[in-house]
Structure 1
Amino acid sequence: MDIVIISNFCSNLSGNGNNRFLYLSKLLSKRHSVELITSSFSHSEKKQRYAAEIVDLPFKVTLVDEPGYSKNISPQRFFSHQTWGANVLEYLRSRKKPDLIYCAIPSLTAPAKVGEYCKEIGCRFVLDVQDLWPEAFAMAFNVPIISSLAFIPFKNLADKAYSSADAIIAVSETYMRRASLANSKAAIKKIVYLGTDLSEFDSYVSTGGNACNHGAITLAYCGTLGNSYDLDLAIDAVRIAQDRTERRIRFLVMGSGPYEAQFKEHASETGIDCRFTGRLPYGYMCRLLSASDIAINPIKKGSAGSIINKHADYAAAGVPVINTQESPEYRNLVECYSMGVNCSCGSVEETAKALSLLVNNDDLRTKMGVNSRKCAEELFDRSRTYRELAELLETI
C-alpha cells in the first residue's frame, strides 16, 4: 500500500526520540511505501528545520512549510496552523492518490481539510486523536462565556475532522469518547496508548552506565514545563516533606518549556535540593528516570489531558507515581495496579503526605515500582500495541 502519515508535531527527526509517528512509519515501511508529512517548523525548538537536517530513514519525510510562532498560546500559532493545513492540502493534491491517509489531530485545520479531500478522491482516512482541541486551550483562556464563544470555530473544525474519519485511533478512552460524539459511523475504533518500546527503553537503561542519585531519595518529573503542569505544587510538597523526614529528598526536573524560569525561581526560593536538567536525549532521560525512586505527575485542575507520554515512561521505569491529575482514566490505572498514590488536584498537603509516605517506606516503594512496571508490560509496550495497530491499518 501507499500510506501517507500526517503529523504536525513530529519532533526529533534524527530518529533518536520516542515519537509515535516516526515509530509507526518505520514499522509500516517494512511492508509498505510510507511517506511522513510533517511541519517545517519545530514546535519544541521554535525554529524552522530543513530537509538536509533529516537523517536517513526507511521512509520518505516531507516537510511542508509552516510560518511558525514564538508562543504556544497566541493568535500567531492559530494562524500558523491554519497556513500549514492549507499547505498540506496543496501538497496532497500535487502527489499521486495514496491508498490510506493516517492523520494526527491536533492541529485542527489539516485534519479537517484532509478528511474532506479523502472523501473527494475516495481514499481511506484514519484519524489519530492525540489531544483534545479546543478543550486543552480552554484551560488557559478560562473566561466564562467569552471562551466558549471564541472556541466555537475550533470546535467545528474538530467535529468536521472527527466526522470524516473511516476509522478512529485514540491515545485514551477519554479522547475516543469525544471523537465518537461527532462520528458514530466509523466501523473501527481502537485505543492505543502512546506507550514506549520496552526493549529499547531497557537498552538505554542497561548500557548507559551508573546514574548516581547522590545518596538522596530522588523524586523525578519529566516533560514540558508549561501551563498545565503544576511544578510549583510539587516544589512546595518537597519542601514540606523534607521537614518531616531525616532522609534527604532531591527533586529532579527533566524537560523545558515556557514556565521553566518561573519554576526555577520558586525552587530557589524554597531552598529545596532541586536540579533542572533542561531537555535531554530520550535515552538519557530513561536512564535518569529509572535511577530515581519516585515519579510525580502534577497536572493542574481543568486539564483536558488523559493518558500522556510521561505515564508510559514512569511505568517503564518501574517507579511509584504520585499523581494529582484529575483524569479518571489515569487515576483508575494508578489505583487498579496499586502503582502509586492519587492526590486531590492542587492539594500541596496531600501531595506532601504521599511523598513522605513513600520516602519513609522502602518496601512500599519497591512493591509499587514492581506494579508500575507490570502496567507498562501489559498496556504500554509499543512492540506489541503498535504491531497490532499496523495490522489493523492493513485491514482497512
Structure 2
Amino acid sequence: MYSVEQRDGAAFVWVGSAEYRRNDWRRAWNMLSFAWNLLRTASSMRREGPPDVIIGSSPHPFAALAAAYLARKLGSRFVLEVRDLWPQALVDMGGLRESHPGVKLLRFIERRLYARAERIVVLAAGAERYLTERGVDPERIVYVPNGVHLDNFRVSPDRRQSRARFGFDCFTIVYAGAHGPANALETIVKAAQMVSDLPVKFVLVGDGPAKDSLVELARSLAVRNVQFLDPVPKSEMADLLSAADAAVITLRNAQAFSYAVSPNKLFDYMAAGRPILCAVPGEVAQLVRTAGAGIPVEPENEAQLADAVRQLVALPQTEREQMGHRGRAYLEAHFDRRALAGRLAEALASIWT
C-alpha cells in the first residue's frame, strides 16, 4: 500500500495506486485508488505524531480531497495547492459540459476544498482571479509558482559527450515531460513533418497515456525526424537539455491554460539556457516573450510552430545562445526555488498569526 524512504533527513511516504496507460476509466480508478490508499495511511501517521500542516495538491482533485479529510481526522491544518484547475480545464478543453454529472461532482469537491483550506497556494498568478470570482478571500491566496533548484543545472562541461550519449547528431529540439491529451504533442509531430527538409530532429522524452497514439501518428504520417525516448531521471535532465539545441513546450488551446498553469518543464528549459519554442496560450507565452527566451507561437498551430523552427534554425548560433542566457537570467531573478520555498514557509507560518 505504501513505503517509506529517507532522503536528506526527511521521510517520504510513497503511496501506491492503480496503473493506467489510457485516458479513460482507468485514469479515474488510478486517482481514486491513490486517494483511498492515502487515507489508509492515517493510522500510521497518528502513531508517529500528526503533522502540523497537510498540503493537498490538485494534479487531480481526489488527492486534495483525501488530504483535506486526513487533516481533519488528524487535527492538522489544511493548505490547498491549486496545481490544475478541476474541473475548469476539462470544460475549457471541450471534453465535458457544465451539466455533466462528473463536472457537477468536481464542482462540489472544488467548493469544499476552497472552503476548507486555511491557505490556498496558486502556481499561476491568473488563478488568483479565478478563485476570487468564486468567493475566495484574497487574504487566503498565496502565489508561489514552480521554479528550479539552480544547483541541479550545473551541466557536465563536455557537451559533445552528452550529445553522443543521447544520440543527438543534428539540430535537436527536445520536449521533456508528460505525454497526455492536454499536452497537444501532436502539434510537434505535425510541425516536424512540415520541416522534414531541414536537418532538424524532434526528441520527445517522457511517457503518458497519449504516447502510443503519438507514436502511431508519426508512423502514419511517415515522419522520420521525431524520436521518442523513455523518461530520464531528474538528475539527468540538465545533461539532456544541455545536449539539445532548443526546447519546445506545447499545450491545448484551452482558456484555463492561458492563466492557470506553471509548467515545470518551462523552468527546466530556462535553467538549462536553451532557446524555447512556446506553443502555450496566455501567461506562459508572455513570460517567454518578456524574458526574451524564445519564440512564442499560437497553440495547436503546427504551421506556426514549423515557421518558428525555420526562424530559429536560421538565426546565428550567438543569437540562439543569447536567448538561452536571457532565459536563465530571468529564471535566476524570479524563479529560484530557494526563494520560493521561503515564500511558502512565510505563508504557512501566517496560519498561526
Question: CA-to-partner distance for each residue in 1:36-64, whole Å, 9 max, x for gaps?
Answer: xxxx4xxxxxxxx644xx35541233345
> Which residue in 2 is equivalent to 1:87?
40
Distance 1:218 1:69, change over 3 A: closer
User: How does the TM-score come out when normalised to structure 1?
Assistant: 0.75
* Cross-structure match for 1:5: none
Q: Which residue of 2 aligns with 1:347?
A: 301
Name 2:278's counterpart in structure 1.
Answer: 323
Partner of 1:258: 209
TM-score normalised by length of structure 2: 0.83
Deviations 1:309-340 (A, max 9, x none): 111111111112111112x1111101211211
Q: 2:184 aligned to 211, 230, 251, which one? A: 230
Q: Offset of 1:210 from its aligned partner?
A: 2.4
Q: 1:377 maps to what in 2?
A: 332
- Alignment pair present for 1:307 and 2:262: yes
Shift of 1:252: 1.6
**287, 299, 303: which one pairs with 1:333?**
287
Q: 1:24 matched to which residue of 2?
A: none
Superposition deviation, residue 140 in structure 1? 6.6
- Stretches of structure 2 that go unaligned for 5 or more consecutive residues are none
Q: Describe the SS at the equivalent of 2:182.
A: coil
Other structure's SS at 1:275 match: strand
Q: SS at 2:229's partner residue?
A: strand
Counterparts of 2:231 and 2:135, CA distance in 1: 38
Q: C-alpha distance in 2, partners of 1:279/1:65? A: 20
CA distance in 1, matches of 2:117, 2:186: 40
Distance change in 2, residues 1:94/1:151 (3 Å): farther
Map 1:1-396 to 2 at 5 A.
40=1, 50-51=3-4, 54-64=5-15, 66=17, 71-74=22-25, 75-84=28-37, 86-87=39-40, 96-112=49-65, 114-115=67-68, 118=71, 123-138=76-91, 142-144=95-97, 147=100, 149-182=101-134, 184-185=136-137, 187-202=139-154, 204-206=155-157, 210-212=161-163, 214-243=168-197, 245=198, 248-268=199-219, 269-302=221-254, 304-305=256-257, 306-326=261-281, 328-362=282-316, 363-396=318-351
Structure with greater proportional helix content: 2
Deviations along 1:128-152, whole A, 9 cap, x unmatched?
22211223344677244554x4211
Contact 1:169 / 1:192 at 8 angstroms: preserved in 2? yes
Q: CA deviation at 1:218?
A: 1.2
RMSD of aligned C-alpha atoms?
A: 3.0
CA distance in 2, matches of 1:119, 1:223: 34
> How far apart are the structure 2 equivalents of 1:239 and 1:66?
38
Cα drift, residue 349 of structure 1:
1.4
Asked if structure 1 preserves the Cα contact closer than 8 Å seen for 2:46 and 2:74, the reply is no
The one-letter amino acid of 1:364's match is E
- Counterpart CA distance in 2 for 1:325 and 1:292 is 20
Kindly tell me: are residues 65 and 190 of structure 1, through their superposed partners in 2, closer, same or farther at Cα, counting changes over 3 Å?
Answer: same
Distance in 2, matches of 1:256 and 1:223, equals: 7
In the alignment of these two chains, the number of paired residues is 341
Shift of the 354–70 alpha-carbon distance from structure 1 to 2, 3 Å rule, reads closer
Asked whether the equivalents of residues 254 and 280 of structure 1 are also in contact (C-alpha less than 8 Å), the reply is yes
Matched residue SS, 1:262: helix
Q: 1:253 to 1:62 in 2, by over 3 A?
A: closer
Q: Is the 8 A contact 2:242 2:274 kept in 1?
A: yes
SS at match of 1:151: helix
Closer/same/farther in 2, CA of residues 373 and 267 from structure 1, 3 Å limit: same
Preserved CA contact (<8 Å) 1:341 1:354: yes
In structure 2, relative to structure 1, the CA distance for the partners of 1:371 and 1:359 (3 Å cut) is same
CA distance in 2, matches of 1:68, 1:267: 25
- Distance in 1 between residues matched to 2:283 and 2:117, nearest whole Å: 24
CA contact (8 A) 1:208 1:284 kept: no
SS at structure 2 position matched to 1:307: coil
CA contact (8 A) 1:86 1:110 kept: no
- Relative to structure 1, the CA distance from residue 138 to residue 100 in structure 2 (aligned partners, 3 Å threshold; closer, same or farther) is same
Q: Secondary structure of 1:257's partner?
A: coil
Residue type of the partner of 1:329?
A: E
Deviation at 1:287, TM superposition (A): 0.9
Contact 1:219 1:293 in 2 (8 A): yes
The aligned amino acid for 1:273 is N
C-alpha distance in 2 between matches for 1:275 and 1:176: 38
Q: What is the Cα deviation at residue 231 of structure 1?
A: 2.3
CA displacement 1:201-250 (0-9 Å, x = unmatched): 22x4458882127452111111111212222221222232343x5xx112
